[in-house]
């Protein structure tokens, strides 16, 4: 369907010197792309649906570069509320995930994607690590199915563990890891079925061992890196979320965690890491020199008491910054807008009011993430780009006093109202409702899923 978005109060434009003002009041969408922008556009010769965007600001769809959708049914577990990462892994995700069936995974994925869509995200990179020696493919298929039904772009970061090593969650629950052959064979099965190359792909596969330090062998990491680069796949993992990563790298390998990653082929422009909280100057310099990026997850890092990633120093060094929600077991809001708001605030608290600008943070959450994931047709509002757009309704009391309406959703944070959202020109939110699901049905299924997990 073609659309004509009329009368938007402001549209964000990365190319604008001030970061985005009312550069266009109207946007025409045709064949999944932005076909025309301007003021006072008239209906075209072809049939198109007109959307009144009065009282709305238009942003590029937000791009979430690190999530754990399975954790959407593990929010606020009492045993893990006041634990650090190591203890929390055993009390929450690794306690439950061997019990997650394909049906539970499907409902968890729908919930997580619903939360992303209603906060303005149009792309999700899910670090899906629910694989062990006897995992069935239906568990992963459930994630792809949920994304297809809701129309969101999905980058599946295929997690793996080929040894329990020093991974506390796996050790505590006796989870038998995959063999390296299983990992590679299952990667190939997924790649041949789901992966789409190209800058406008709806589905992508990423090679993503769950931990470089705690549950992967050197040979396994090198083999997975070789596989990824043979087929042009991205590479992703967790690194330096807590100081224990650095301690174990030096104890096991006699070198820093970042040097271990580099020696295994795990730095480069095709690689990004979640967290990187405990980066020293040497680590930042190697990230910058190799083009390795970060998925900054401020809410989860605060929730678990892990610290704050030094993205102020990283950006100054040239490291590409992107944003991730992380799993809802440690970031219960499940909202990309929450991550933007907290990222804007927390670094100003640490480094002063000029540390983060609103425009930079929105760039982290949109264009930077899209470029990182190889989605070069996404992340910007410009003629010829894919129409991944979100219309925030700011014609509401809590936004009425904002002098900079374009950035009102970021400054004010949740709750926000997405009036309309598009992915590749397809409406995925309309009239404030996420399309493709019934909220009452989803709520009932999630509650049943939680009860099933607790009873198992």
pTM: 0.96
Would you say 276 and 309 are in contact if contact means Cβ atoms under 8 Å apart?
yes
Q: Which residues of the chain have pLDDT under 50?
A: 16-21
- In whole angstroms, give the CA distance from residue 104 to residue 446: 8
Angle at 295 between CA 291 and CA 300, to 5 degrees: 155
- Residue 155 DSSP SS3: strand
- CA dist., res. 142 & res. 388, Å (int): 24
CA distances, 7 to each of 23, 41, 431, 439 (Å): 12, 9, 16, 30
Q: Is the dihedral of CA 366, 367, 368, 371 positive or negative?
A: positive
Annotate 377-397 with DSSP letters as a single string: TSSS-STTSB--EEEEE--SG
Between CA 448 and CA 235 the distance in angstroms is 35
Q: Judge whether 267 and 287 are in contact, CB under 8 Å.
A: yes
pLDDT at 168: 63
Query: DSSP alpha helices (H): ranges in 254-403?
Result: 257-263, 281-290, 298-303, 311-317, 336-351, 358-363, 369-372
C-alpha span between 131 and 263 (Å, rounded): 26
Q: How far apart are the first and last CA of the chain?
A: 46
Query: Residues 312, 317, 322, 325: is their CA dihedral positive or negative?
Result: negative
C-alpha triplet 367, 128, 146: angle, nearest 5°: 80
Q: Which pLDDT value is given to residue 19?
A: 45
Residue labelled with tokens 């607790």 = 454
- Cα(111)–Cα(109) distance, rounded to whole angstroms? 5
Output the pLDDT for position 167.
Answer: 63
What's the CA gap between 245 and 86, in Å, rounded?
11
Q: What gap in Å lies between CA 294 and CA 275, rounded to an integer?
A: 7
Q: Let me know: does 298 contact 339? Beta carbons within 8 Å.
A: yes
- C-alpha distances in Å from residue 37, one per residue of 30, 66, 95, 216, 386: 12, 32, 51, 49, 13
Gap between the Cα atoms of 28 and 285, Å rounded: 43
Length reported for the chain: 456
Structure tokens at 53: 């965007």
pLDDT tens-digit readout, 267-281:
999 999 999 999 999
Pick the closest to residue 325 from 102, 115, 30, 171 (CA basis): 115
CATH architecture of 3-60+379-434: Roll (2.30)
List the chain domain ranges: 3-60+379-434, 62-372
Residue 336 CA to its chain's centroid (Å): 8
CATH architecture type of domain 62-372:
Alpha-Beta Barrel (3.20)
Within 10 angstroms of residue 226's Cβ, the number of other Cβ atoms is 13
Give yes or no for a contact between 67 and 324, defined as CB atoms under 8 angstroms apart.
Answer: yes
DSSP state of 128: E
CA distance 24 to 382: 10
Q: pLDDT tens digits, residue range 43-65? A: 888 899 999 999 999 999 999 99
């Amino acid at each position: 369907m073609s659309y004509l978005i009329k009368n938007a109060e402001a549209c964000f434009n990365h190319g604008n010197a001030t970061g985005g003002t009312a550069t266009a009041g109207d946007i025409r969408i045709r064949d999944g792309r932005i076909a025309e922008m301007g003021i006072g556009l008239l209906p075209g010769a072809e049939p198109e649906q007109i959307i009144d965007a009065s009282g709305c600001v238009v942003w590029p769809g937000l791009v979430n570069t690190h999530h754990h959708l399975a954790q959407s049914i593990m929010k606020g577990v009492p045993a893990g509320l006041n634990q650090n990462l190591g203890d929390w892994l055993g009390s929450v995700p690794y306690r439950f995930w061997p019990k997650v069936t394909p049906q539970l995974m499907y409902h968890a994925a729908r919930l997580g994607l619903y939360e992303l869509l209603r906060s303005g995200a149009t792309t999700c990179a899910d670090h899906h690590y629910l694989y062990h020696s006897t995992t069935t493919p239906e568990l992963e298929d459930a994630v792809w199915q949920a994304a297809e039904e809701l129309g969101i772009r999905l980058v599946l970061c295929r997690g793996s563990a080929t040894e329990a090593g020093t991974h506390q969650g796996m050790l505590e629950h006796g989870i038998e890891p995959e063999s390296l052959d299983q990992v590679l064979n299952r990667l190939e099965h997924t790649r041949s079925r789901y992966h789409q190359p190209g800058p406008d792909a709806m589905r992508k596969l990423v090679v993503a061992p769950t931990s470089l330090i705690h549950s992967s062998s050197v040979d396994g990491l090198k083999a997975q890196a070789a596989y990824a680069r043979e087929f042009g796949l991205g590479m992703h993992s967790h690194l330096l979320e807590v100081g224990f990563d650095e301690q174990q790298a030096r104890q096991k390998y006699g070198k820093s965690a970042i040097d271990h990653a580099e020696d295994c082929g795990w730095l480069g422009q095709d690689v990004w890491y979640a967290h990187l909280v405990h980066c020293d100057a040497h680590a930042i310099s190697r990230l910058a020199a190799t083009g390795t990026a970060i998925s900054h997850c401020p809410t989860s890092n605060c929730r678990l008491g892990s610290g704050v990633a030094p993205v102020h120093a990283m950006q100054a060094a040239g490291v590409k910054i992107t944003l991730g929600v992380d799993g809802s077991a440690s970031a219960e809001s499940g909202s990309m807008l929450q991550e933007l708001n907290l990222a804007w605030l927390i670094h100003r608290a640490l480094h002063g009011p000029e540390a983060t600008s609103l425009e930079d943070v929105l760039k982290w959450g949109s264009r930077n993430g899209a470029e990182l994931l190889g989605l070069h047709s996404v992340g910007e509002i410009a003629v010829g780009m894919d129409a991944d757009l979100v219309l925030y309704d700011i014609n509401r009391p809590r936004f009425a006093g904002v002098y900079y309406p374009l950035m009102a959703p970021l400054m004010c944070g949740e709750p926000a109202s997405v009036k309309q959202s598009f992915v590749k020109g397809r409406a995925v939110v309309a009239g404030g409702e996420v399309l493709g699901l019934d909220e009452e049905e989803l709520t009932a299924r999630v509650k049943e899923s939680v009860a099933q997990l607790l009873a198992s």
